Structure formats: structure tokens, C-alpha cells
Amino acid sequence: MKPRVITDGVLALGAIDWDRRLFDSLIPLPDGTSYNAYLVRGSEKTALLDTVDPTKREELMSQLAGVERVDFVVSHHAEQDHSGAIPDVLAKYPQSKVVASTKAKGMLLDLLDVPEERIVAVEDGGELSLGDKTLRFVYMPWVHWPETMVTYFPQDRILFTCDLFGSHLATSDLYADEERVYEPAKRYYAEIMMPFRRAITKHLEKVRQIDPAVIAPSHGPVYRRPAFIIDAYDRWVSAPPRNRVFLPYITMHGSTGRMVEHFVGALMERGVEVEQFNLADADIGKLAISLVDAATVVVGTPTVLGGPHPSVLNAAHLAAALNPKLRFATVIGSYGWGGKAAEQIAAVIERADIEVLAPVLCKGVPREADFAALESLARTIADKHREMGFV
């Protein structure tokens, strides 16, 4: 990829990773991703904002082949997909310094073994002059690591946000096609940012006060209409959950599957949206997206060796770890001779702002009384959603 012009003196560098399908050995990447770096040339100094994943270092270095001088390497975030090529850049430009937050300094020393004398720690609100251009640094901790900061370039009103507002999307488009980027951006928020939504709420206000004309993240395309992604984050972070049930399940001999089928129909009859996921082949990214707006999680599980099916337990851990806006939770399922499936699931999901509803468990195949209990549970959920004003 050749460097591309954003404005006079600001170039988009980095790499498009079309073929990557897994991030952190955990997160599926159905659309690939990109590692964006940006070069800002002033009348006196030049700064490189972020680098790339180590697997793409050669591509970044080829883009820098004609750049005679880089005075500063801004590290917004110490994670290696952004900082991994910093040692290569420092080796090419012996006079360059790494600019990072005070907390990031120690992390760069630990993760990359960058020489301490080559790191300049900047305070929140600090500025760096490049001559006729200025870079202003704004701390945004816990987006999604504690050391994260962003950079504002006031002359052209560009906000470089690193992971914030990013999307795992490999695309040749420099600028965001809003219709295309919406789901990858929501997936990215759900998988990576949602656990930190309370911190992000405060940072969104900082971004609105800055009022950028362009938002340039370090994954995915650049936003020429910042309101699109800022407003989307505002909804994902702060809007009340929807009248929706998130229902991950697995069935071994059909009993739990029959319960899920009946229960979904009962919810639909009462006007409740349902997103049902068979965990035998579910994409965890799709599960995460569904959790962004759901008001209730209902976990469907058979009992295995006295507890929930391991795939279901993993889904419960996901729902707990991502910290969505859930208000209610419960369990449905079948058992053979006993066990603690419901109690174990509830212990994983339960938190102060979630009401755990009575489970519906049947012995063996579901019978008339079990289906009646599922109808009652569906009625309870619909009533609670209505009382909370979820739409």
C-alpha cells in the first residue's frame, strides 16, 4: 500500500491485513483488519503516529523509505498491533524519540524493551510543536488499556484515536462507507470496548468538546463525518437496552432444543425480540454484537456431569466479561438425574444491576407442565421489559 494523502502534510500509512482471521488467538476477524499509522509533517519536525503489527513491519518500513527524517513516534497505545514496529522505526531514525503517556512509558519498556532514554512521557493536555503544526495529547485511559491517549491536530481538526472508533475491516477505502462499516464497527465495540463502556461515556464528552472534522482510528477506515461514529457509540454505550432477549443455547439429545423452540415462540407472541444462537457453531463476534442491545439473557443448557455444558458456560463468561447493559438473566434446560447447572450459570452472570429470574429446568424430555412454565417465564420477561420502558 502506498502512502495516501488525508490533508496537506498528513499521510495515511500502515497495512491492510486482508487475510487475518483471528485476533489475540480469540477474536474472529471475518472481514480482516488494518493497522493504521499516520505521518504528520510540519515545517520543522515530522511525527509518525502509531506503527503496525510486527507481521507487517516490512510494509511500513517500505512506506518510510523516502522519508528522510522522523523526529517523533507517537505511541497512543502500547499493544503490539500498534507499537510492534516501534523498534524498527527507532533503528532507522536514530534521532527519533517515542512520545507516550506517563503510564505507557513503563509498558513500552516492558513489552518492547525500548531504551528508556528514547521515550518522552507527555502529560494529559500536553502539546508538541512540529513548527507550523501542533499535536495535542489527550489522555483516554481504559480505551481499552489504562495507558491510552489520543492526538488532536488542531490546524486541520483531525483526531487520531487509535483503538477508539476503530473497526476490524480490511478495505481499500481510505474513508468510511458508513453503511458498510457500521457492523464491523459495532462488532469491534462489542468485543473490545464494551467492557469499558463507563469510561468511554466520559471520553465521548471529551471528543464532542474537541469537535473534530475528521476521526482517524488505527483500525479500519477514516471518518469524514465524525458524528456518524460518535452518535453510534453514544447509542451503544448509553441508550437503554432494547426489548430483546439474547438466547445462547446448546442441545445434546433434543430436549433443551425443544424447550428453546417453544420459549422463543412464546416470547415472539408477546412482542419480545429474540436473537437465538446455537453454540455448536456460533461466531462469538455475532454473540457480542447481540449483547450490545439486549435487555435479557436466557441461557439454554443441558446438564453435563452435574453442571452446564462447557460451551454454554463459556457463553455465560462472555456475557459477564463484556459487561453489557443486561437487566435480567435466567436459565432453561434439561437434566437427567440432577445437578447445579442453573446455579453455576447464575453465579457467572450475576451482578448488582442484573435481576436473576427463576430458571425453568425439566427432567428428561419437556412435558406439558414444563411448556407452561416456559410460557410463564416469557410472560414475566415481557412484563418486566414493558415496565422498564424497553422498546
- Kindly report the CA angle at 224 between 221 and 229, in degrees rounded to 5? 70
Q: Which of 238, 263, 286 is the C-terminal boundary of a domain? A: 238
Report the alpha-carbon distance of residue 52 to residue 34 in Å, rounded: 9
DSSP state of 174: S
Domain shared by 186 and 258, yes or no = no
Domain shared by 199 and 257, yes or no = no
Report the alpha-carbon distance of residue 157 to residue 257 in Å, rounded: 54
Neighbours of 61 (CB within 10 A): 16
How many alpha carbons lie under 13 Å from residue 147 in its C-beta half-sphere? 19
- Kindly report the CA angle at 94 between 93 and 98, in degrees rounded to 5? 80
The model's pLDDT over 230-267, given as tens digits with 9 standing for 90+, comes to 999 999 999 999 999 999 999 999 999 999 999 999 99
The model's pLDDT over 187-224, given as tens digits with 9 standing for 90+, comes to 999 999 999 999 999 999 999 999 999 999 999 999 99
- Output the average pLDDT for the chain: 96
Report the alpha-carbon distance of residue 38 to residue 160 in Å, rounded: 8
Domain shared by 188 and 259, yes or no = no
Q: Which of 215, 238, 261 is the C-terminal boundary of a domain? A: 238
Rounded mean pLDDT, 342-368: 94
CATH number, position 15: 3.60.15.10
Rounded mean pLDDT, 178-192: 97
Which domain does 182 fall in, by range?
4-238
Domain shared by 198 and 51, yes or no = yes
- Domain count of the chain? 2
391 found inside a domain: no
Domain shared by 253 and 305, yes or no = yes
Phi, psi of 63, rounded to the nearest 5 degrees: -70, -30
